[in-house]
């Protein structure tokens, strides 16, 4: 009954169990430190409220999609904005683990390497899905309507979860490459720019020239427009595909990048 | 002329209600013109708080103090113009060069513009930093920073100099160099108040010392006088742990037991150094094996131990680390 | 021996200059502390005027160029954050202990404060000029009396003053990075709870009364005249009065904060 006998270092089951344990740690870290998550919940809601009051009359301008209120239009941008900013929290936590040496301790244990990173990503996914639900629930009493109903909401949760995975994976890549929480947080303005050069806050059809061209190239535009279509139109296959498949494709690329960076970091130890 | 530093009943509390902490609890202090005064005490004893009040950084809760003849509260500006201060925790901006800092200091102290360059160069030379003057302070070693700090405090030729732990963390060579500089300044007529945790530093430099503990001054006087007051030398003995009790009984016959570091016993030998052999014999008779034996002449640490009941942290190795 | 020292009052301006010089030198030596404050209004003016290009189609929108509406916002915001930058620098000096050195100098307390303000005005003007040039390149066109756009720079100086006083006052009171979070958040909210995005006449709902009574709205109106509706004596007078009152208030907030450091 020695401890060594009970240690299983190979096989899928321990890796899954370890990933689950690491995920729990990641989620608990978010629950226990509300100051980390509050900004990524409050700011998108603040801008949704601000926009609804400021741009209420904009829904009738040429090029604006058919909506009941600006709030319905704004929801999609708020969700993606919240998830983008929230993913910084997970990646910063990973970078902090590297800075404090906790990461090395995990490497020294017979823990599956992959579970260390996947655990963080799973935490981000759970938070992304939760953010989607929170935004919808908070905005419902203020007149939000989801035309697509429950099916749309489920698709949006899946989209939120996958978007969080994609962004957190890319940010974790940065954390693994630099090992610096400051570098990860320093990317905040970059996320801001990516978001603003998309149709997250206003319809692409109302933009002009080069700006419209960039927003049309920006994949975030299509992601947001998928969420938006589920909110303001009835459920369509195209909208669901946009909401789920775009972040899924980004997530596959992001996770591959993150795992490759993990390999490099482990090899360098 | 009045004493350059004169404090009476100085009190400083932090917090309020049940959380109130009396960091300085009625300190009377008089430093005479032209002397080096050592201010001793462990971390948290109230040293720094007292210095911060004397240097106008902190308003006293009670009592009063005059520095260079001016009241530290009502005539703060005049105090500031007459004192130089090198504070342990008053960092130097690492982005500035030594020369820039000296020039800024010259501006802040209102020196005529025409003198800025000459004064900065003169001070850099004085502390041996002429070649490093145009480098950013971030590249300086610990010893260089302390020397620059000293130079900064001298920009206006102050008559009273406050040095807060000037050599903490310095290597022995840098420490000696700084001691020489302090002696030279004192010879030139500057009154110096020096806080330190290093008893040897106080012994080497100070004409008089004050020991502060728990916000109160517990001893004050010339080092020799204070050491003579403790009288007998201390014998330190280490024995096996299970024999400590009986060894204490034996030692108590030769004088008063004194506080020591963990695992040691200490006794002030009433009969002087000549009694060491008698102590060893007595321990032997009781079958106590002695692991270590050390006789130490009265030191400021003994004074400190006798006054406060505990020894000064870090006092064992003033030139170490 | 100290007879060579002139009276402490006479050196005040020189001391303030010396402190400002130190701060400005750090633009080059610690660019990471200045560049975000410079880039933020640049990004803001580009992204707002681009994203919200369609707002000019809203019936009653007072200009047909979105950049004309958002340039004055970015300028005032950039100027106020340049002011906050001196608050951040103050937190660094307080935490490192460097500020004790300054407080021990026989310099008048007003000179100790004037230094950061001089630095903030300079930093703000660097940001404001850059943002204005970018705005012009993106198609911003002044309207009416050619002197009116200068009011935008007046408003920027005012907001730099408010940001500096607010930032320094909070830095002196909290003495750690909590102050940085509070100063950023409050100023950010304060500037967005105005007619930042669309004119008050177009705002519907809760924001309308908030923006109407928010004094920062009046400073924005002062800044916008040269780009939106042309010179308006009433907006100018109200804007200047609000700016002066807020400026004096924030300087007083900083001054009382500085005095609190002795406690």
B148 min Cα distance to partner chain C (Å): 13
Note whether residue C179 is domain-resident: yes
Q: Which of A53, A64, A197 sits opposite C205 (nearest CB)?
A: A53
CA closest to C32 among chain A residues: A186
Token reading at B9: 């009943």
Average of pLDDT values for A250-263? 92
Cα–Cα distance between A138 and A120 in angstroms, integer? Answer: 27
B317 min Cα distance to partner chain C (Å): 28
Residue B158 with chain C: CB contacts under 8 Å: 2
A50 min Cα distance to partner chain C (Å): 7
Mutate to test the interface with B, among C2, C25, C110, C114 (most CBs of B within 10 A): C2
The DSSP H or E segment spanning C231 is none
Q: Residue for token digits 């002062």?
A: C222
Closest by CA to C263, choosing from B177, B58, B169, is B58
Bigger pLDDT: A250 vs B297:
A250
Cα–Cα distance between C256 and B132 in angstroms, integer? Answer: 39
Residue C144 vs residues A134, B229, B295, C76, C228: alpha-carbon distances, Å = 48, 89, 94, 21, 9
Residue C203 with chain A: CB contacts under 8 Å: 53-54, 56
Low-confidence ranges of chain B (pLDDT < 70): 1, 89-90, 313-321
B214 plus B71 within the same structural domain:
yes
Note whether residue B33 is domain-resident: yes
CA closest to C39 among chain A residues: A189
ipTM: 0.87
Token reading at B96: 């500035």
CA closest to B54 among chain C residues: C104
Strands B83-86 and B265-268 come out as unpaired
Residue C119 with chain B: CB contacts under 8 Å: none
CA angle A251, A252, A257 (to 5 degrees): 95
pLDDT recorded at residue C2: 43
B38 plus B158 within the same structural domain:
yes
Task: Give the structural domain span for B279.
Answer: 232-297
Q: Which of C2, C25, C93 sits opposite B81 (nearest CB)?
A: C2
CA closest to A187 among chain C residues: C36
Per-residue H/E/C for B106-172: HHHCCCCHHHHHHHHHHHHHHCCCHHHCCCEHHHCCHHHHHHHHHHHHCCCCCCEEEEECCCCCCCH
Bigger pLDDT: C4 vs B3:
B3
Task: Give the structural domain span for A124.
Answer: 12-268
Average of pLDDT values for A99-110? 81
**C163-179: per-residue pLDDT in tens?**
999 999 999 999 998 99
Closest by CA to B13, choosing from C124, A38, C209, C263, is C263
Cα–Cα distance between A105 and A59 in angstroms, integer? Answer: 55
Q: How many domains does chain A have?
A: 1
Which residues in B have their CB inside 8 Å of a CB on C? 55-59, 77-78, 80-83, 85, 87, 89-93, 95-96, 100, 103-105, 107-113, 136, 152, 156-159, 189
Q: How far is CA C8 from the centre of its chain?
A: 30
Note whether residue B38 is domain-resident: yes
Note whether residue B313 is domain-resident: no
Residue B317 makes CB contacts below 8 A (sequence gap 6+) with none
Closest by CA to A249, choosing from A171, A169, A193, is A169
Dump strand ranges (E) for chain B: 5-14, 21-31, 36-40, 62-67, 70-71, 83-86, 160-164, 191-196, 208-213, 216-221, 234-239, 265-268, 290-296
Note whether residue C17 is domain-resident: no
**A142-175: per-residue pLDDT in tens?**
999 999 899 999 999 999 999 999 999 999 999 9
Note whether residue C219 is domain-resident: yes
Note whether residue A123 is domain-resident: yes
Closest by CA to A225, choosing from A198, A248, A249, is A198
* Cβ-defined contact of A61 to C52 (cutoff 8 Å): no
Note whether residue B143 is domain-resident: yes
Q: How far is CA C11 from the centre of its chain?
A: 27
B186 plus B256 within the same structural domain:
no
Q: Which chains are adjacent to chain C, needing at least 3 Cβ pairs under 8 Å?
A: A, B
Q: Which own/partner contact pairs does C257-263 have at CB distance under 8 Å and 24+ positions apart?
A: C257/C168, C257/C169, C257/C170, C257/C171, C257/C172, C257/C173, C258/C109, C258/C112, C258/C113, C258/C168, C258/C172, C259/C109, C260/C172, C260/C173, C261/B57, C261/C99, C261/C103, C261/C172, C262/B56, C262/B57, C262/B58, C262/B59, C263/B58, C263/B59
Q: How many domains does chain B have?
A: 2
* Pairs of CB atoms within 8 A across B/C: 104
Closest by CA to A140, choosing from A51, A220, A224, A45, is A45
Closest by CA to A76, choosing from A31, A35, A119, A44, is A44
Best mean pLDDT range from A144-148, A198-202, C18-22, C23-27? A198-202
Q: Which of C47, C192, C196 sits opposite A197 (nearest CB)?
A: C47
* Cβ-defined contact of A207 to C203 (cutoff 8 Å): no
User: Final residue of a domain: which of B177, B196, B222?
Assistant: B222
Note whether residue B310 is domain-resident: no
pLDDT at position A187 over 70 = yes
Residue C262 with chain B: CB contacts under 8 Å: 56-59
Contact C163, C83 (CB under 8 A): yes
User: Final residue of a domain: which of B222, B253, B279?
Assistant: B222
B260 plus B126 within the same structural domain:
no
For chain C, percent of residues with pLDDT exceeding 90: 84
Cα–Cα distance between C175 and A146 in angstroms, integer? Answer: 47
Provide the β-strand partners of residue B268: B234
pLDDT recorded at residue C11: 67
B126 plus B245 within the same structural domain:
no
Which pLDDT band, with edges at 50, 70 and 90, does C249 fall under?
Answer: very high
pLDDT at position A112 over 90 = no
C203 min Cα distance to partner chain A (Å): 5
Residue B111 with chain C: CB contacts under 8 Å: 4-5
B42 plus B163 within the same structural domain:
yes
Q: How many domains does chain C have?
A: 1
**C87-123: per-residue pLDDT in tens?**
999 999 999 989 999 999 999 999 999 999 999 999 9
pLDDT at position C9 over 60 = no
Mean model confidence pLDDT for chain C: 92
C206/A contact by beta carbon, under 8 A: yes
Residue B33 makes CB contacts below 8 A (sequence gap 6+) with B1, B3, B4, B191
A202/C contact by beta carbon, under 8 A: yes
Residue B125 makes CB contacts below 8 A (sequence gap 6+) with none
* Cβ-defined contact of C50 to A192 (cutoff 8 Å): no
Residue C18 with chain B: CB contacts under 8 Å: 103-104, 107-108
Closest by CA to B55, choosing from C97, C18, C4, is C97
Task: Give the structural domain span for C139.
Answer: 25-260
B46 plus B177 within the same structural domain:
yes
The CATH number of residue B259's host domain is: 3.30.70.980
Note whether residue C16 is domain-resident: no
**C171-229: per-residue pLDDT in tens?**
999 999 899 999 999 999 999 999 999 999 999 999 999 999 999 999 999 999 999 98
DSSP states of chain A: --HHHH---SSHHHHHHHHHHHHHHHHHHHHH-HHHHHHHHHHHHHHHHHHHHHSGGGGGSTT----S-HHHHHHHHHHHHHHHHHHHHHHHHHHHHHHHTHHHHHHHTT--HHHHHHHHHHHHHHHHHHHHHHHHHHHGGGT---TTHHHHHHHHHHHHHHHHHHHHHHHHHHHHHH--HHHHHHTHHHHHHHHHTTTSSS-GGG--HHHHHHHHH-HHHHHHHHHHHHHHS---HHHHHHHHHHHHHHHHHHHHHHHHHHHHHHHH-
pLDDT recorded at residue A12: 66
pLDDT recorded at residue A37: 82
Considering the entire predicted model, what is its pTM?
0.85
A143/C contact by beta carbon, under 8 A: no
Q: What are phi and psi of A138, to 5 degrees?
A: -70, -35
CA closest to C204 among chain A residues: A53
Note whether residue B262 is domain-resident: yes
B119 plus B241 within the same structural domain:
no
Token reading at A31: 């629950």
Residue C114 with chain B: CB contacts under 8 Å: none
* Cβ-defined contact of A63 to C54 (cutoff 8 Å): yes
Note whether residue C224 is domain-resident: yes
Note whether residue B312 is domain-resident: no
B175 plus B241 within the same structural domain:
no
Provide the β-strand partners of residue B27: B10
A196/C contact by beta carbon, under 8 A: yes
B191 plus B243 within the same structural domain:
no
A248 min Cα distance to partner chain C (Å): 26
A73/C contact by beta carbon, under 8 A: no
Q: Residue for token digits 């009943």?
A: B9
Note whether residue B256 is domain-resident: yes
Bigger pLDDT: B200 vs C75:
C75
Average of pLDDT values for A206-214? 94
Residue B148 vs residues B57, B97, B283, C229: alpha-carbon distances, Å = 21, 10, 54, 58
Mean model confidence pLDDT for chain A: 88
Contact A170, A90 (CB under 8 A): no
**B122-168: per-residue pLDDT in tens?**
999 999 999 999 999 999 988 899 899 999 999 999 999 999 888 88
A197/C contact by beta carbon, under 8 A: yes
**A66-92: per-residue pLDDT in tens?**
999 999 999 999 999 999 988 888 888
CA gyration radius, chain B: 23
Note whether residue A49 is domain-resident: yes
């Amino acid at each position: 009954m020695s401890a060594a006998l009970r240690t299983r270092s190979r096989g899928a089951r321990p890796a899954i169990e370890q990933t689950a344990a690491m995920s729990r740690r990641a989620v608990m870290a978010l629950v226990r430190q509300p100051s980390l998550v509050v900004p990524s919940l409050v700011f998108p809601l603040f801008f949704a409220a601000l926009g609804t009051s400021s741009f209420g009359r904009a829904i009738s301008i040429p090029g604006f999609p058919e909506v009941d209120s600006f709030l319905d239009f704004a929801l999609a941008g708020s969700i993606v904005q919240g998830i983008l900013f929230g993913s910084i929290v997970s990646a910063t936590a990973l970078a902090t683990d590297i800075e404090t040496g906790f990461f090395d301790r995990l490497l020294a244990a017979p823990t599956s390497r992959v579970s260390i990173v996947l655990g963080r990503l799973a935490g981000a996914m759970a938070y992304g899905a939760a953010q989607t639900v929170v935004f919808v629930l908070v905005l419902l009493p203020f007149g939000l309507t989801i035309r697509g109903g429950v099916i749309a909401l489920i698709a949006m949760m899946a989209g939120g979860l996958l978007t969080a995975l994609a962004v957190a994976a890319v940010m974790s890549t940065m954390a693994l490459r630099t090992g610096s929480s400051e570098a990860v947080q320093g990317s905040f303005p970059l996320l801001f720019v990516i978001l603003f050069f998309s149709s997250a806050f206003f319809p692409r059809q109302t933009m002009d020239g080069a700006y419209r061209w960039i927003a049309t190239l920006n994949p975030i535009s299509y992601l947001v427009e998928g969420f938006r279509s589920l909110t303001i139109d009835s459920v369509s296959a195209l909208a669901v595909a946009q909401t789920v498949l775009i972040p899924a494709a980004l997530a596959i690329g992001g996770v591959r990048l993150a795992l490759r960076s993990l390999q490099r970091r482990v090899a360098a130890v | 002329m009045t004493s350059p530093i004169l404090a009476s009943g100085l009190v400083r509390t932090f917090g309020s209600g049940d959380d109130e902490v009396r960091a300085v609890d009625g300190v009377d202090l008089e430093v005479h013109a032209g002397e080096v005064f050592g201010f001793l005490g462990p971390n948290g004893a109230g040293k720094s708080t007292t210095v911060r009040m004397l240097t106008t950084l902190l308003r006293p809760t009670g009592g009063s103090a005059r520095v260079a003849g001016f009241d530290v509260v009502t005539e703060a500006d005049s105090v500031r113009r007459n004192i130089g201060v090198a504070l342990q925790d008053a960092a130097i901006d690492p982005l500035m060069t030594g020369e820039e800092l000296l020039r800024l200091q010259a501006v802040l102290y209102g020196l005529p513009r025409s003198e800025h360059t000459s004064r900065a160069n003169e001070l850099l030379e004085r502390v041996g930093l002429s070649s490093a003057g145009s480098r950013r302070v971030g590249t300086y070693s610990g010893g260089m920073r302390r020397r620059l700090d000293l130079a900064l405090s001298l920009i206006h030729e102050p008559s009273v100099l406050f040095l807060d732990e000037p050599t903490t963390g310095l290597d022995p060579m840098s420490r000696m160099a700084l001691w020489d500089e302090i002696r030279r300044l004192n010879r030139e007529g500057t009154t110096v108040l020096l806080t330190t945790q290093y008893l040897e530093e106080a012994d080497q430099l100070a004409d008089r010392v004050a020991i502060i503990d728990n916000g109160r001054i517990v001893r004050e006087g010339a080092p020799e006088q204070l050491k003579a007051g403790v009288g007998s030398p201390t014998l330190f003995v280490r024995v096996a742990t299970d024999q400590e009790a009986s060894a204490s009984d034996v030692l108590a016959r030769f004088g008063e037991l004194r506080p020591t570091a963990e695992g040691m016993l200490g006794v002030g030998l009433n009969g002087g150094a000549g009694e060491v052999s008698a102590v060893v014999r007595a321990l032997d008779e009781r079958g106590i094996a002695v692991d270590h034996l050390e006789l130490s002449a009265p030191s400021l640490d003994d004074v400190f131990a006798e006054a406060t009941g505990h020894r000064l942290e870090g006092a064992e190795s003033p030139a170490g680390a | 021996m100290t007879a060579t020292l002139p009276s402490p009052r006479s050196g005040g301006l020189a001391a303030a200059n010396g402190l400002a010089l130190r701060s400005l030198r750090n633009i080059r030596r610690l660019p990471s502390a200045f560049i975000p404050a410079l880039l933020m209004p640049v990004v803001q003016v580009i992204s707002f005027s681009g994203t919200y290009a369609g707002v000019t189609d809203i019936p009653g929108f007072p200009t047909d160029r979105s950049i004309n509406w958002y340039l004055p916002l970015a300028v005032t915001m950039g100027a106020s954050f340049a002011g906050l930058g001196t608050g951040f620098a103050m937190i660094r000096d307080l935490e490192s202990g460097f500020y004790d050195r300054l407080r021990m100098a026989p310099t008048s307390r007003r000179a100790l404060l004037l230094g950061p303000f001089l630095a903030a005005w300079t930093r703000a003007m660097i940001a404001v000029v850059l943002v204005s040039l970018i705005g012009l390149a993106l198609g911003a066109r002044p309207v009416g009396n050619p002197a009116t756009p200068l009011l935008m720079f007046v408003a920027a100086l005012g907001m730099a003053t408010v940001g500096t006083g607010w930032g320094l006052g909070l830095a002196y009171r909290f003495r750690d990075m909590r102050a940085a979070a509070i100063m950023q958040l409050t100023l950010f909210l304060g500037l967005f709870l105005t007619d930042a995005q669309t004119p008050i006449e177009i705002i519907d709902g809760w924001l309308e009364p908030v923006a109407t009574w928010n004094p920062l709205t009046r400073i924005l109106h002062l800044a916008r005249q040269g780009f939106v509706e042309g010179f308006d004596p009433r907006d100018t007078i109200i804007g200047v009065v609000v700016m002066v009152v807020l400026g004096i208030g924030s300087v007083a907030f900083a001054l009382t904060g500085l005095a609190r450091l002795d406690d």
